[in-house]
Structure 1
């Protein structure tokens, strides 16, 4: 039971910071926060994503490119242009690293105001940091695993962020339903997105990229947005006014 709870905490903790910080803040900037709070959130993202930590800078730029080039040959991740999900993941990793390490030129429209903390990112993205987290996960499993099948969850803890990404960027462009006809293949994965905390409303998000709430229908409950509303109410962040048009 301890192992299952541990994996659930890592799943939803890492997913929340990917959705809240990397996606809605770094890429779309639907709210603002102070610089100290931004630094704290960088650190919390590292703690919960662990060995699969993603930089706000690399993620933010790449996600903006995804919206600009959805389902074209310039899209960093698209089932329409990748043979399988593993090929897409590998291409995404390469593009992300090239952006994050500034090895390729990036259009200024994709870099505007994207948060960057180079010193911390260099550490959090380092091989030392990733191996440290992997070692800690193995040690935790060694102490608390009570059955052989629980060890099957260990690789998931290593690759949590890429798994979150592939669920949305691969399956969210193949399976599900649509509320809006778009010039892309984006889908909503679930009527109630219990698995991805609102990220699964991908068709809605492509229609209204600037909205902090990814749910549109009454039953489409965006759990991340509900948390954002609480953080806004207590003054930790400040939601921006929702634009009338994208």
Structure 2
């Protein structure tokens, strides 16, 4: 029971920070926050993603490119230009690392306003730090696991961030339903998004790239992240932008 609770906690905290901080804030700037709160959420992202920490700066830049060039050769992660899921993930990794290590030649307009706390970006990308997180997961499982099959969950802990990205970038461009006609293959993967905190409403998001609520177009579409945004906006932690129904690019 403890292992399953830990796995679910890691899964949902990680996917929440990915959709809240990396996606809706870093990439789309759907809301603003102070530099103090930005650093706070950098730290929470580091803790929640652990060994699979994704740079908010690199994620933001890469996702903006995805919207601008979806399902073309310039898309950092399109199923249409990959042989399989793992080929897409490997290509995405190379693209991501080029941005992290400043080897890219991306138009500066895609980098405008992206958060960049250099220390946390450096710390989260250190291999020794990633290994330390992975070791902590293994030790936790050794102490609390009550069956051998529980150890099969460990790879998901090691690669939590990329796993979440792969689910949407591959499967939500292959399977699901559409509410809107868009210039790419984005689909709504789940009718009720109990798994990805709203991220699976990918067709809705590609139609309205700056809209903070990814769901709400059909009666069954509920975006679990949006009430958190409303709450944080209400207490002054973030400030939602009023006109957020337009695409970023």
TM-score under structure 2 normalisation?
A: 0.97
Partner of 2:230: 229
User: Match of 1:55?
Assistant: 55
Aligned-CA RMSD value: 0.9
* Number of the residue aligned with 1:87: 87
What is the correspondence of 1:19-38 to structure 2 with a 5 Å cutoff? 19-38=19-38
Counterpart Cα distance in 2 of 1:166 and 1:244: 25
Residue 54 of structure 1, CA deviation: 0.3
Distance 1:70 1:55 in 2: 21
Match of 1:196? 196
Aligned counterpart, 1:240: 241
Match of 1:101 in 2: 101
Aligned-pair CA distance for 1:109: 1.3
Pairing of 1:35-184 with structure 2 (within 5 A):
35-184=35-184
Could you tell me the TM-score, scaled by structure 1's length? 0.98
CA-CA distance at 1:125 after TM superposition: 1.0
Q: How many residues align?
A: 246
| Cα-to-partner distance string for 1:79-127 (whole Å, 9 max, x where unaligned) | 1000000000000011001011111122111000000011211111110
CA contact (8 A) 2:208 2:245 kept: no
Gap regions ≥5 residues in structure 1: none
Contact 2:191–2:220 (8 Å) recurs in 1: yes
Cα distance in 2 for partners of 1:86, 1:139 equals 28
Structure 1 moving runs of 4+ over 3 Å: 243-246
TM-superposed deviation, 1:7: 0.5
> Residues 126-167 of structure 1: CA distance to partner in whole angstroms, max 9, x if unpaired?
101100100100010010000001111011100111110010
CA distance in 1, matches of 2:118, 2:218: 40
Q: Give the secondary structure class of the aligned counterpart of 2:62.
A: helix
Task: Write the distance in 1 (CA, Å) between the matches of 2:228 and 2:25.
Answer: 14
Quote the Cα distance in structure 2 between the aligned partners of 1:244 and 1:153: 38
- C-alpha separation in 2, matches of 1:84 and 1:152: 23
CA contact (8 A) 2:193 2:222 kept: yes
Q: In the aligned structure 1, how far is the partner of 2:59 from the partner of 2:246?
A: 25
Q: Is the 8 A contact 2:211 2:245 kept in 1?
A: no
Aligned match of 1:13 = 13
Q: CA deviation at 1:245?
A: 4.3
Q: Residue 197 of structure 2: SS of its match in structure 1?
A: coil
Report the Cα offset of residue 207 of structure 1.
0.1
Comparing 52-61 with 215-224, greater Cα deviation is found at: 215-224
